[in-house]
Amino acid sequence: MSKDEQQQRPEARKPRGFPDRTAAVIAAERKLVDSISTVYQRWGFDALDTGPFEYVDALGKFLPDTDRPNSGVFALQDDDEQWIALRYDHTAPLARYVAENWDRIPKPFRRYSAGPVWRNEKPGPFRFREFIQCDADSVGVAGPAADAEMIAIAAEAMEAAGAAKGEYIIRVNSRQILDGIMETAGVVDPAQRGAVLRALDKFDKFGVEGVTLLLGKGRKDESGDVTQGAGLAANQIDVLIEFITARSVTRAETVRKLANATGMTRSGAQGVAELGEIDAILSALDIGDDAASFDPSIVRGLEYYTGPVFEAEFLREFRDADGNVMRFGSVGGGGRYDGLVARFRGEPAPATGFSVGVSRLAAAMAASGEEKVQGPVLVLVLDKDQLADYATLASDLRKAGVRAEMYLGSSGMKPQMKYADRRNSPAIVIVGGNEREKGVVTIKDLKAGAAAAKTMTDNDAWRSERPGQFECPRSEMVARIKAITGVS
């Protein structure tokens, strides 16, 4: 190859933040999407896919502050010079859809959506630029009953995803109460409000002490990095800390505490009353305090929320590579967004929704033990002039429902065995001249072989006995392989 050709060769490399997803991950995500979609479906939601692109002005700017402000999306100019961007969630495009089709859709409008969303953020570990979300939304619903339903759906979705009772919790708060308490504390400047919300959001991570610092002068982390504080005075901080620590074991008790909190504003009091109604309906739906709880420290980053907000937390513990006990934390969330459709229409269209971060939840599930994908049975190719025969053997297995392939590379027997091993094949089928003459096939049960190998120490014994390997008539091949692979 000439130098010229080498220079022309593109480098085989992948844009950052978009990992190649292999079979086990894809299967795990698919399983989650299917089981969560089934829940949404059963609750009366219909599927809708609004497509990848929206006009930038239709998407709006509701992403939480990122490292790169005024950014956060993948945008490009269409050939008519208009700016379009990949959706960053399923909610903003839904609002566009509802506004565009208002006169044609049934109201309330209930839809679910499962598919990728894209965020143009700095990639990092477990921080991808594409991830799958699975959402349910009700548009044209005003009362807390619709929010209660969303919370119940969130709990059911978590269980459908494989989280047992006690392994998840749906935490609920209210933007109205948050607004009320900030008003009471005298936080009115929009920038300061943002800083306060970001500080409160860290309660789970840094506790009272950390949040107190973040609400005040700022906080220095272990590496010495300083996070600028919200700059509140001590008495303001007290009001907020009393508020975010109001969480009790039962929803009813938390509502009572919040109702009795000093200086609650009118809209804050309304938010508390709504939580009371939500509690009643959740109880009717058998959603206990162990499944959904009221937590005044829950914020949710997206800026379009206007009422109750919820967060689904996955509590199951796992050990990281260093043996530390870890939790994934938030794997979904949602809330009421009464202004999003009104952006387009001018008239109010109250709405509420919930979204499961499927990619994140799949990663969390995988962290507690990933399953290996079972490979195909491999029919070895020993005589090139017998390809049609080998192809028929593999075809017979597939017709019986067994995953099977004929080896298609150009290597000899040993690399073919190695290939079967790398593919995690349960068995191989061998037909050489000897077998052909006798009308038999040799089957190697690779699982049985591997199990036997563990208990054997003498290499010679291994060679002579060949555990898991046997001959059988061709007519019995399918039945024997079905027995090995567990296909019925």
Site for a copy of itself in 339-398 (CB under 8 A): 343-346, 373, 375-376, 378, 387-389, 391-392, 395, 398
Residue whose C-alpha is closest to residue 352's, from 305, 303, 313: 305
Residue whose C-alpha is closest to residue 19's, from 9, 29, 5: 29
CB of 53 to a copy of itself, least distance (A): 5
Examine residue 43 and tell whether it contacts a copy of itself (CB under 8 A).
yes
Nearest-angstrom CA–CA distance, 185 and 235? 8
- A 10 A CB-CB count for 274 gives 21
Q: Distance between alpha carbon 215 and the CA centroid of its chain, in Å?
A: 31
Q: Distance between alpha carbon 420 and the CA centroid of its chain, in Å?
A: 32
| Nearer residue to a copy of itself within complex by CB, 43 or 470 | 43
- What number of residues does the chain have? 488
With contact defined as beta carbons under 8 Å apart, do 477 and 443 qualify? yes
Nearest-angstrom CA–CA distance, 113 and 45? 9
Nearest-angstrom CA–CA distance, 284 and 159? 18
CA dist 310 → 19, 108, 176 (Å): 29, 21, 13
Residue 28 — φ and ψ, nearest 5°?
A: -65, -45
Count of residues near a copy of itself by CB under 8 A: 101
CB of 12 to a copy of itself, least distance (A): 4
| Nearer residue to a copy of itself within complex by CB, 180 or 375 | 375
Strand spans (E) along 251-386: 292-294, 308-314, 318-319, 325-326, 329-336, 351-357, 377-379
Contacting range for a copy of itself; rule: CB under 8 A; set: 14-22, 232-240, 318-326, 327-335: 14-22
| Nearer residue to a copy of itself within complex by CB, 335 or 376 | 376
Residue with tokens 């800390």: 241
Nearest-angstrom CA–CA distance, 342 and 350? 8
Examine residue 308 and tell whether it contacts a copy of itself (CB under 8 A).
no
CB of 350 to a copy of itself, least distance (A): 9
Site for a copy of itself in 189-218 (CB under 8 A): none
Examine residue 36 and tell whether it contacts a copy of itself (CB under 8 A).
no
Residue 358, Cβ density class (10 Å: 0-12 exposed, 13-18 middle, ≥19 buried): buried
Examine residue 88 and tell whether it contacts a copy of itself (CB under 8 A).
no
Site for a copy of itself in 134-163 (CB under 8 A): 138, 140-143, 145-146, 148-149, 152
| Nearer residue to a copy of itself within complex by CB, 76 or 461 | 76
Contacting range for a copy of itself; rule: CB under 8 A; set: 77-85, 215-223, 332-340, 362-370: 77-85
CB of 84 to a copy of itself, least distance (A): 5
Contacting range for a copy of itself; rule: CB under 8 A; set: 98-106, 199-207, 304-312, 470-478: 98-106
Examine residue 1 and tell whether it contacts a copy of itself (CB under 8 A).
yes
Alpha carbons within 13 A on the beta-carbon side of 189: 7
CB of 37 to a copy of itself, least distance (A): 9
Residue whose C-alpha is closest to residue 487's, from 431, 430, 426, 444: 426
CB of 108 to a copy of itself, least distance (A): 5
Nearest-angstrom CA–CA distance, 82 and 80? 6
CB of 366 to a copy of itself, least distance (A): 15
Contacting range for a copy of itself; rule: CB under 8 A; set: 209-217, 261-269, 315-323, 337-345: 337-345
- List the x/- string, 241-270, binding to a copy of itself by CB under 8 A: ------------------------------
Examine residue 22 and tell whether it contacts a copy of itself (CB under 8 A).
yes
Alpha carbons within 13 A on the beta-carbon side of 181: 30
Residue 133 parent element (H or E): strand 130-139
CB of 39 to a copy of itself, least distance (A): 9
CB of 250 to a copy of itself, least distance (A): 17
Residue 61, Cβ density class (10 Å: 0-12 exposed, 13-18 middle, ≥19 buried): middle
Identify the residue among 32, 36, 48, 240 touching a copy of itself (CB under 8 A).
48
CB of 102 to a copy of itself, least distance (A): 8
| Nearer residue to a copy of itself within complex by CB, 108 or 467 | 108
| Nearer residue to a copy of itself within complex by CB, 66 or 192 | 66
Examine residue 477 and tell whether it contacts a copy of itself (CB under 8 A).
no
